[in-house]
Amino acid sequence: MYDFLDVRGRIFDIQKYSIHDGPGIRTIVFLKGCPLRCKWCCNPEGQEFKVQEMTFLGKHKTVGEDVSVAEVMAEVMQDRVYYTRSGGGLTLSGGECLAQPDFGEALLTAAKYEGISTAIETTGFAKWEYIERYLRVTDHVLMDIKNIDNEKHKKFCGQSNEVILENAVRIAKSHNDLTIRVPVIPGFNDTKTEIAKIAEFASMLHGVKKLHLLPYHRLGADKYKGLGREYSLEGVDLIPKDKMNELLETAKKSGLYCQIGG
Ligand code: SF4
């Protein structure tokens, strides 16, 4: 057996007391590096694997830290009492948490060893062998399906959606707690037709319990400037509440339990 506590990886944040990233109160560990480049990404500092310097809210900061599983778990364990009371636990996010497979698997294994619930937030763009390893030690899967149209997916996310859709089918077959999340982005997938296609696809997957529509927001926009990058959705308006409600009604026709927000 390998000593999972010694495995090292690169993170860029740990957030405590989250209630939107899986059941109960959770600690979110953000792993650095993502193979996609979604135009709306609110964590652009998590996209590159390399350690970066950035300015945010007027302060300079280094983004990316190499840590061991033991170090991360010491922080995660501080809130054990909250997990027990709320049914919460550890959630791996990113970036793409599947992009550091040894580290991610070791973190999830360490949490399970401690009897803590585990969740992953993923876009599913990874080799199936990595996903399989994660699923053995993951209780809840929160997976993004951003668009069924592959050309649009490539244009807005920088990668094909083929592997993602294939993996969604395979995850659903082998895991019975899968939530599909759809970031709803103006000009990308904010029409009834597009949301209906995603919801229909999700409803055909056996393990899917819920579908969450996540309205576009600009909370990460300033980070791009801080990284010396341009925010390509500058000037794009938020989606009005009425329109989000219409899209919700469209999604509900799939028969899935649907909601706005995570
Ligand atoms: S998959 Fe997530 S982390 Fe990666 S670029 Fe897209 S929004 Fe950002």
Res 1 pLDDT > 70: no
Residues 6+ apart with CB under 8 A from 21: 28, 91, 93, 119, 121, 142, 262
For residues 214 and 177, what is the distance between their CA atoms, to the nearest angstrom? 19
Chain segment 40-67, per-residue pLDDT in tens: 999 999 999 999 999 988 899 999 999 9
For residue 205, tell me if it sits in a domain: yes
Query: 103-117: per-residue pLDDT in tens?
Result: 999 999 999 999 999
Q: Does residue 44 line the site of ligand 1, with CB under 6 A? A: no
Q: Atom 7 (ligand 1): residue with closest C-alpha?
A: 41
- Write out pLDDT tens, residues 173-183: 998 899 999 99
Atom of ligand 1 nearest to the CA of 158: 5
In a domain, 68, yes or no: yes
Average pLDDT (68-81) is 97
Q: Which structural domain range is residue 240 located in?
A: 8-260
Q: Give mean pLDDT, residues 191-207.
A: 96
Percent of the chain residues topping a pLDDT of 70: 99
Is 213 a domain residue?
yes
Is any ligand 1 atom within 6 A of the Cβ of residue 147?
A: no
User: Is residue 17 situated within a structural domain?
Assistant: yes
Residue nearest ligand 1's atom 8 by CA: 41
Structurally, how many domains does the chain consist of? 1
Which pLDDT band, with edges at 50, 70 and 90, does 2 fall under? low
Name the percent of the chain lying above pLDDT 90: 95
Ligand 1 atom 6 nearest Cα = 38
Q: What is the pLDDT of residue 56?
A: 87
**Burial readout 168-178 (b: 16 or more C-beta within 10 A, e: otherwise):** bebbbeebebb
Structural domain contains residue 61: yes
3-state helix, strand, coil in the chain (%, to 5): 35, 25, 40
Rounded CA gap, 147 and 219, in Å?
22
Tell me whether residue 163 is in a domain.
yes
Query: Domain containing 54 — which CATH number?
Result: 3.20.20.70
- Give pLDDT tens digits for 14-24: 999 999 999 99
What is the pLDDT, as a whole number, of residue 143? 97
What are the pLDDT digits (tens) for 207-254?
897 999 999 999 999 999 999 999 999 999 999 999 999 999 999 999
CB 27 near ligand 1, within 6 Å: no
User: Which strands form 8-18's sheet, in the order they lie side by side?
Assistant: 65-68, 8-18, 26-31, 89-93, 117-122, 140-144, 178-184, 208-215, 257-260
For residue 43, which atom of ligand 1 is closest to its CA? 8
* C-alpha span between 231 and 225 (Å, rounded): 7
Q: Is 226 in the pocket of ligand 1 (CB under 6 A)?
A: no
Query: Which atom of ligand 1 is closest in space to residue 34's alpha carbon?
Result: 4
251 within a domain of the structure (yes/no) = yes
Question: Has residue 243 been placed in a domain?
Answer: yes
Helix (H, G, I), strand (E, B) or coil at 71: helix
What is the spatial distance between Cα 197 and Cα 204, in angstroms, rounded to a whole number? 11
